[in-house]
Amino acid sequence: MTALAWLIPAALVLGLLGLGAFLWALRTGQFEDLDGAAYRVLDDDEPPTDENDRGEVRDR
């Protein structure tokens, strides 16, 4: 019985965490563009301009 007192709440909390995460993702529009997201991973955050093309990383 003591094991159940731990395990059942643990199972429920984990499940609720998952549900919460999904509802959060849905609310913030993570599923708006499933095709586009696949390409955005490959994209740099900043469009390449003259300055960052020269490469701040190399300068450092």
Partner 1 sequence: MAFAVDIDAGTAERGASREPIARPPGKPKNAVLAIENMNCGGCMRKIERVLETAPGIASVRANLSAKRVTVAFDPQDTGTETIIKTLADAGFRAADLAHNNIDDGNLADQDLLRRLAVAGFAAANIMLLSVSVWAGLASDMDEEVQSLFHWLSALIALPTVAYSGQPFFRSAATALKAWRLNMDVPISLALALATGMSLVQTIRGSEHVYFDASVSLVFFLLIGRYLDQSLRSRAKGAAQNLIGMKSGWATVVAEDGTSERMPARALEPGMRVLVAAGERIFVDGRIVSGRTDIDEQLITGESVPRSAADGDRVYAGTVCLTAPIEVEATAADKDTLLADITRLMETAEQNKGRYVRLADRAAAFYAPVVHTLGLITFLGWMWLGGGWEMALTTAISVLIITCPCALALAVPAVQVAATSRLFNRGVIMTAADGLERLAEIDTVVFDKTGTLTKGTPELSNSAGISEETLAAAAALATNSRHPYAQAVVRAAQSRGVRVVPTDGVVETPGAGLSRKSAWGDEERLGSADWCGIGPNSTSVDDSEAGASLWYRPSRGDPATAFQFVDVLRADAAETVAMFQSAGLGVLLISGDQEAAVKDAALTARIEDWFAEQRPNEKIAQLRKLEAAGRCVLMVGDGLNDAPALAAAHASLSPASAVEVSQIASDGIVQGQRLAPVIEAVAVGRRTRRMSLQNFAIAAAYNAICIPLAMAGFVTPLIAAIAMSASSIVVTANALRLTTAKLKL
Calpha distance 40→9 (Å, rounded):
38
Residue 13 in contact with partner 1, rule: CB under 8 A:
no
The stretches of the chain forming alpha helices (DSSP H) are 2-27, 34-40, 50-54, 56-59
| CB-based contact 21:15 (threshold 8 Å) | no
x-marked contacts with partner 1 along 28-47 as a string, rule CB under 8 A: xx-xxxxxx-xxx-xx---x
Under the criterion CB under 8 A, does residue 3 sit at the interface with partner 1? no
- Give the interface with partner 1 as residue ranges (CB under 8 A): 1, 4, 8, 11-12, 15-16, 18-19, 22-23, 26-29, 31-36, 38-40, 42-43, 47
